[in-house]
Amino acid sequence: MEGQAAMNISCQRCNKSKATVHITDTVPEKRERHLCEDCAEQEGVIIKQKHHTTNEILQQFIKHKVGAAIGLELESISCPQCGTTLKDFQTNGQLGCPHDYVVFRDALMPLIERAHEGATHHVGKVPPTAEPVVRKQTGLVRLRRELQEAVEQENYERAARVRDEIRALESQ
Amino acid sequence: MNLEKLSNSTGEWLRGEGPMSDVVISSRIRLARNLADHPFLMAASSSERTEIYRAIVQQISAGAAGADSMIFDLLEADSVEQNLLVERHLISRQHAAGEGSRGVSVSADERRAIMINEEDHLRIQSLRSGMDLESLGRDVNEIDDALAAKLAFAFDRQLGYLTACPTNLGTGIRVSVMLHLPALRLTKEIERVARAARDMHLAVRGLYGEGTEAIGDFYQVSNQTTLGKTEDAIIRTFSEKIIPKVVEYERTARDTLARQHSARLDDKIWRAYGLLSNARRISSNETHALLSPIRMGIRMGRFDRFDLKTLNEVFLFTQPAHLQKMLGQTLDEDERGIARADYIRKRIG
C-alpha cells in the first residue's frame, strides 16, 4: 500500500477521484502533478490495460478464427454423432457432444490454447476407470513439465526424483 | 418441492465461521462433468435431456453423493422456490432460469450441491463458510469418484474432461472465494486489487457469480484457466498465494482506517445502522450495502447492537424469495420493500 501522504491527494484535473499517478514534469518547467488513473489516461500519460473476461475473449476469437475457418472446407462438416457444425458453435458458444472435440479439433485448438494461457494438454485428474494408457500419458505430460521446472530452478535433487518417476512410468 | 427444511436456517455459506472469516465469507469448488454416451445439452433433445437427468438422479438417489441428499426438480419448482435456491448459493441464476429437465441435489448441511443439466450434465459443488479449500478439494474429489464408479464421464487423453464450453475443459474445476472487502473499497484500493487479480487470469464478480455486480463490497474471485494445471496446483494458487494476500491487504486497510480515520469509520458503521433500523421501505441491494459496514464493525469490535449471526440471518431472509417464503405470500417489488423494512426493524431496531 502507498503512504498516507499519497493516499489523501485528490486528482488535480477532476478533483474527484484519488490521485494514484504522480508525475514530475521537467519540460517546459519543473512541476509535480497528481492525477487519478482515468485523467492520466485521458492525458495520455498512461495506457490503461483493458480487461476482458475469458468469455469475451472466446466470443471475439470464435468470430474471427472460427469464422475464417468456416470459409474453408470445414464449412461443410458436421459432427456425425450430434450434427453440430462450427457455425452452431459460433452462434451458441457451446459444443454439441464430446465427439465435436475430435471432429473440430484443428479449429478448436487455437481457441483452447488462448482460453487456457497457452495450455494444450490436461495434466490433472484422470477418471479412475480410464484405461491405463490414458493414465500413463497424462502422467507423463505432467512429469515432463515438472522435470523441466526443476531443471530451470536448478533443483537437481527434485529433477532426479522426477526423472526416475518418468522412467518407471515409461517402462510400465 | 419441500424447501421447508432449508428455508428456516441460514445454511452453510452464511454461517459466518471458518478460517479468515473476517474477510472470507465462503469458499466453493465445482467440477464440470458430462456423461460420455450422451450429447451435451445444446444438442440434446428434450427426451435425451430427461434421460440424462434420470440417469444421474438414479445414482444420487442410490447414495453416490452421500446418504442425506435431497433432490429438487426445478421443472416442478415455482419461481420463488427456484430463486430461494439461488439466494442460498445452491444453484446459479442461469440454472434457475433454464428450461427442460434439470435439478439440484443438496446435502442436509448444504455443503454439497450438485446441479444436474445446467450448462454441463453435472456441476459437482462443495461449499464452506470461511476459507477452507483443502477440504473442499477432497470433498468434490470424493463425490466425483463415487459418481465415476457408476457413470462414464466424457474424457479425452489430451484435453481431459470434456465440457460443453471449451473454457471449462481439462480439470473442469472452478475455485471461487467470496470476499468481503469494505475497507479496500473505502480506501479506494479495490480497483487495484481487482486489476491485479485479473492480471493473474482470475475473474472478479459480484455476489451471485457470472454477470452480477459487486453489491455491498462482496466480491467473488475465481479461476478461469482449467487446462494445463493440476487441480491441486489451481487450489494452491488460491489458498497459498492469492487469498492470504488479499486478506492481508483488507486487514491492513481496516487497521489504517481505525488508526487514522476512526470517526469516519464509526460514522459509516453507525449511520448504516441508523438507516437500517429506521427505514420504512428498502430494497434488497440497499440492505446488503448497509449490512456491509456493520459486518466490518462487528468483526472489528466497533459495533455491538447485534451479533454476526443476526446479521447473517437478516442478510439472507431479506432477499426477495426468502422474504416471500417467510411471509407465505407473493409480493410485488413495492410490497417487498415495505415488508423488508418491517422485518429488519423487528430484528434489529
Confidence of residue A28 (pLDDT cuts 50, 70, 90): low
Q: Select from B34, B155, B195, B252 the residue whose CB has the most chain A CBs within 10 Å, as the one to mutate to test that interface.
A: B155
Nearest-by-Cβ selection for A129 from B148, B230, B231: B148
**How many Å separate Cα B130 from the centre of its chain?**
12
Q: What is the mean pLDDT of chain A?
A: 76
Which segment of B122-126, B253-257, B326-330 scores lowest on mean pLDDT?
A: B326-330
Q: In this complex, do B165 and A95 lie within 8 Å of one another by their Cβ atoms?
A: yes
Amino acid A166: pLDDT? 86
pLDDT, tens only, A6-21? 456 788 888 888 787 7
Amino acid A10: pLDDT? 83
pLDDT, tens only, A90-140? 888 899 999 999 999 988 999 999 999 999 999 999 987 766 666 666 677
CB proximity A8 to B under 8 Å: no
Confidence of residue A152 (pLDDT cuts 50, 70, 90): confident
pLDDT, tens only, B109-156? 999 999 999 999 999 999 999 999 999 999 999 999 999 999 999 999
Confidence of residue A50 (pLDDT cuts 50, 70, 90): very low
Q: Select from A11, A122, A137 the residue whose CB has the most chain B CBs within 10 Å, as the one to mutate to test that interface.
A: A122
Neighbouring residues of A33: CB distance < 8 A, sequence distance ≥ 6: A12, A22, A23, A24, A25
Neighbouring residues of B305: CB distance < 8 A, sequence distance ≥ 6: B273, B348
Confidence of residue B171 (pLDDT cuts 50, 70, 90): very high
Q: What is the mean pLDDT of chain B?
A: 92
Q: How far, in Å, CA of B330 to CA of B184, rounded?
A: 38
Distance of residue B156 Cα from the nearest chain A Cα, in angstroms: 8
Q: Supply A34's cell numbers.
A: 497528481
Average pLDDT (B267-284) is 97
pLDDT, tens only, B37-82? 899 999 999 999 999 999 999 999 998 888 888 999 999 999 999 9
Write phi, then psi, for B144 (nearest 5 degrees). -60, -45
Residue with more model confidence, B271 or A19: B271
Q: In this complex, do A95 and B145 lie within 8 Å of one another by their Cβ atoms?
A: no
Residue with more model confidence, B179 or A130: B179
Amino acid A90: pLDDT? 85
Average pLDDT (A138-156) is 82
Amino acid A113: pLDDT? 93
B199, pLDDT greater than 90: no
Amino acid B7: pLDDT? 66
Considering only CA atoms, which of B158, B154, B119 is closest in space to residue A99?
B154
Torsional class of A156: left (φ above 0), alpha (ψ -120 to 50), beta (otherwise): alpha
Amino acid A19: pLDDT? 80
Under DSSP, is residue A48 helix (H, G, I), strand (E, B) or coil?
coil
